[in-house]
Structure 1
Amino acid sequence: MTRGSPADPVGTVLVARLDNAGDVLLAGPAIRAVAARAARVVALTGPNGTAAAGLLPGVDQVIEWRAPWIDPDPVPLTPRHTDDLLSMVRDVAPDLAVILTSFHQSSLPLALLLRLAGVPRIAAVSEDYPGSLLDVRHLVDETADVPEALRMLALVRDAGFELPAGDDGALDVRRPLPPVEHLTGPPGYVVAHPGTSAPARAWPADHHARAVRDLVLGGLRVVVTGDPDEQALTARVAGAYGMDLGGVTTLHELAAVLAGAAAVVVANTGPAHLAAAVGTPVVSLFAPVVPAARWAPYQVPVTLLGDQDAPCRGTRVRVCPVAGHPCLSSVTPERVVAAVRELIAVSTPGALRHATAPALVDADDADDAAEALREGVR
C-alpha cells in the first residue's frame, strides 16, 4: 500500500471506532482510504475491537480506551479515565482525527475529548450542531439505510480521502493468514459459529446442534467456533458430529478458519464480518433488532434468514423483548441446512459432488458416520 502521497501529504491520522470487532472490521475500507494518503494511521478502539483493528491493512498502531457512552459494560467517566485517553492521544499527536460512529451513536463526546487533547482537525458524522468541535461535519440521510462500510467511506471521502485505484472497497484482513489445517483439516468444511455479543441476536443452540448433525450426516464436515467464554456452547453445538474449536483460536486464526470454509452459519456478530473480510459466503441468521441493509455481511454471497418484520424490528435491544424469540427460533435447522447447500452450490460449483445425504440413517449408523467424518481430518 502506497502511503502518504508526497503531492498531497497528510501526517498522522487517528481513526476512532469504539465499539465491537464487527464494527471495526466494517471500518476497514475507510481506513484503507485514509492510509492511502496518510503517513501513519493510528486506530483508537474499545476493548472489544482492539484485536480486529490489528488485522486491518493500513493500521500502523492501535490504542484502546473504553468509552462510557458506547461500551456495553460502561465504566464511570472520571477525571483519571479521561486523562488516560488524553495522554494516549497526545503521545500519538495526530494531525487529524476521524471519528467513525453508527447511526445511533454521537461523535461529539469523543470530539470534545480530542479537542482537549490538542487534536487540531476533527471529522465526524453529526446530526447535532457541533459548534467548534468538528472541522468536517458530515451529514447522512439516516432513512436510507446505507451499508455501514459505505457510510464510513462517505465520511472519510468528505474529509479528503479516497480508496486507491484498484481497491474495490470490500472488507479485508492482513495477509498471509496463519496455517490452521492442523485444526480443521483441508478446506471445504462448513463453519458454525453459534455465539453472539447479544442474546437477542442468537439462534437457539439446539437448532444449531441439529443443523450441525444434519450437515455432517449429509456428507459435509462442520467446524464449530467460538470465544473462550463460549466453550460450553460450542461443545453443545458440536456434539458428537462437529469439530469443536471453541476457545482454541486467536482472531487471526479464526480468520484463517473462516477463509477455509465453503460457507459459514452465523448470526449478526463479529465473525459474520470476519467471514466477509476473507471472502467466504454466509448463511446469516439475522435478528431485525438492527437493519440488515446496514449490517448484513458486506460484498460476499449471503443468504439472509430470520423474520425481518418481527415485532423487535429496529429496537436495538440486547435481550429479545418477545416471548420465544420468534424472529430466529422460527428458522428451522432444515432451512439452514438447505441454505448452506444452496449457497455452496452457487458459490463453489462442484463442491457438493461428494457430499450427498444418505437416504435413511438410524442412530447407530449416525454415530458411525460422524466418527468417520471426524477421523478424516485428524
Structure 2
Amino acid sequence: MILVLRALGVGDLATAVPALRGLRAAFPGETLSLAAPTWLTPLIDTIGGIDRIVPAGELEPLTAAPAMPRLAVNLHGSGPESHRRLQALAPEALWAFASRPAGHLDGPGWHDDEHEVQRWCRLVRYYGVPCSPEDLDLAVPAVDVPRGVTIIHPGAKSPARRWPAARFAAVARGLRSAGHRVLITGSASEHDLCVRVAHEAGLDAACVPRTELAELAALVAGARLVISGDTGIAHLATAYRTPSVVLFGPVSPQRWGPPAGRPYHRAIWHGTRSERGDLPGPVHPALLAVTEDEVLAAVEKVCHADVTP
C-alpha cells in the first residue's frame, strides 16, 4: 500500500492533483490511500485513482492509517511534524522534503517561493515519478445545479485574504446590471457574510444557495465566471477551466495563482512580496489596493478570452 498525506483544504488538494496522478500512474498495481479530511471525499472522488481515504485532520496523529505501508509520501508540508506523523507508521520508505529535525535527510530541499503545484511535482520527480503540472482537471460531480451563473465568493479562511464585503457587493451590482445571473457562495460559517453581500447588492435570498462540496464543484464547472479571493474555489475554477478573477493579498499568485498561459484566468495582486497566507487580519493592504473598477475590467477580459484547452 502507498499512503499519501495531504490533510488540508480544497485548494491544497487541488494543487496536489498532478502529483497524486503521477503516483497513481507510477504504481498501477498498488492500493493508493490518501490521508485527508473526510469532508473532502466528494472532491477526492473527482480526481480518480484514489482507492481509499484515510480520515485525517491537519495536525492529528494518523490513528486510522494502517501500520507499515510500503511507501509513505508527504504531500502535506516540509516537516518535521508531518514527517513524524508518517514515520510513526514505520513505512518501508518515506518520500518527503529533506528535514533535519525529523531525521529525514533524503529528499529535495524546500523552496518557500515555489508555486504549490510545482512544489509537489518536483518532490515526486525527485524520486523518479513523472508529473505534469498541467494535469489539473477534475471530473464533474453528477449533481443537478444551475448552469451559466456568475459566482461571487466573498469568504476566505483568514481575514487578511477577505476583500471587503461592500466591494464584492458593488461588483455584484455591476455584473447584475450587465446581465449576469449572480450567485453568492460560501461555506456554512460564511453564510451570514454571503447574505450581507447579497443584501447590499440588491439580490434576494435565492441568490445565496447553501451548497455542499459536490454541489459547489458542479456549480463552478458549469459557471460563466467565478470571482473570489485567494481561496479554494479559485482552484476549482482552474480545475474546470471556468473563467475567473482572483484577488490576492498577502500571498503572491506566483505561489498559489492560476496557471500561466490561460487568459481566461486573471489574478490581481498589488503586493511586492509573499507573506503568510493565514494572517489573522485586518485585510491585507495589497488586497485593499484592488478596486471594484479593476475587478470589473478584469471580468471583461476573461469573459472574452478563448477557453479552448
TM-score for the superposition, normalised by structure 2:
0.87
Q: Point out where structure 2 has 5 or more consecutive residues left out of the alignment.
A: none
Larger radius of gyration: 1
Offset, 1:129: 6.2
> Aligned equivalents of 1:179 and 1:272: distance in 2?
21
Distance 1:13 1:297, change over 3 A: same
Secondary structure of 2:65 counterpart: helix
> Aligned equivalents of 1:250 and 1:278: distance in 2?
17
Q: Choose the corresponding residue for 1:259, options 221, 236, 239.
A: 221
1:98 aligns with 2:89: no
> Aligned equivalents of 1:171 and 1:244: distance in 2?
32
In the other structure, the counterpart of 1:241 is 203
Letter in 2 for 1:56: I
In the other structure, the counterpart of 1:374 is none
Offset, 1:271: 0.6
RMSD: 2.7
Q: Choose the corresponding residue for 1:337, options 284, 296, 301.
A: 296
> Aligned equivalents of 1:160 and 1:318: distance in 2?
36
Distance 1:227 1:14, change over 3 A: same
> Aligned equivalents of 2:88 and 2:272: distance in 1?
44
Offset, 1:242: 6.8
- Between 245-254 and 43-52, report the one with greater CA deviation: 43-52
Offset, 1:169: 2.8
Q: Choose the corresponding residue for 1:269, options 213, 216, 231.
A: 231
In the other structure, the counterpart of 2:136 is 171
Q: Choose the corresponding residue for 2:266, options 303, 313, 321.
A: 303
Q: Point out where structure 1 has 5 or more consecutive residues left out of the alignment.
A: 1-11, 69-80, 350-378
In the other structure, the counterpart of 1:373 is none
Offset, 1:107: 2.3
Letter in 1 for 2:49: G
Indicate conservation of the 8 Å contact 2:253/2:269, yes or no.
no
Matches within 5 A, 1:276-291: 276-287=238-249, 289-291=250-252
Q: Choose the corresponding residue for 1:41, options 13, 26, 32.
A: 32
Q: Choose the corresponding residue for 2:55, options 53, 59, 64.
A: 64
Distance 1:247 1:95, change over 3 A: farther
Indicate conservation of the 8 Å contact 1:54/1:62, yes or no.
no
1:25 aligns with 2:14: yes
Offset, 1:254: 0.9
Letter in 2 for 1:100: L
In the other structure, the counterpart of 2:184 is 224
In the other structure, the counterpart of 1:75 is none
Q: Choose the corresponding residue for 1:114, options 86, 89, 103.
A: 86
Could you give the per-residue CA deviations for residues 107-158 of structure 1, whole angstroms, max 9, x where no partner exists? 2323333233221110111253653x46x41224x26x33211110111122
Offset, 1:348: 5.9
In the other structure, the counterpart of 2:96 is 124
Letter in 2 for 1:225: T
Secondary structure of 1:265 counterpart: strand
Indicate conservation of the 8 Å contact 1:96/1:120, yes or no.
yes
1:159 aligns with 2:127: yes
- Between 229-238 and 120-129, report the one with greater CA deviation: 120-129
In the other structure, the counterpart of 1:15 is 4
Could you give the per-residue CA deviations for residues 182-201 of structure 1, whole angstroms, max 9, x where no partner exists? xxxx42x3211111011100
Letter in 1 for 2:246: S
Indicate conservation of the 8 Å contact 2:36/2:54, yes or no.
yes
Distance 1:280 1:45, change over 3 A: same
In the other structure, the counterpart of 2:279 is 318
Could you give the per-residue CA deviations for residues 320-362 of structure 1, whole angstroms, max 9, x where no partner exists? 36xx74322232222211211221012369xxxxxxxxxxxxx
Q: Choose the corresponding residue for 1:292, options 253, 267, 270.
A: 253
Distance 1:54 1:280, change over 3 A: same
Alignment: residue pair count: 302
Secondary structure of 1:319 counterpart: coil
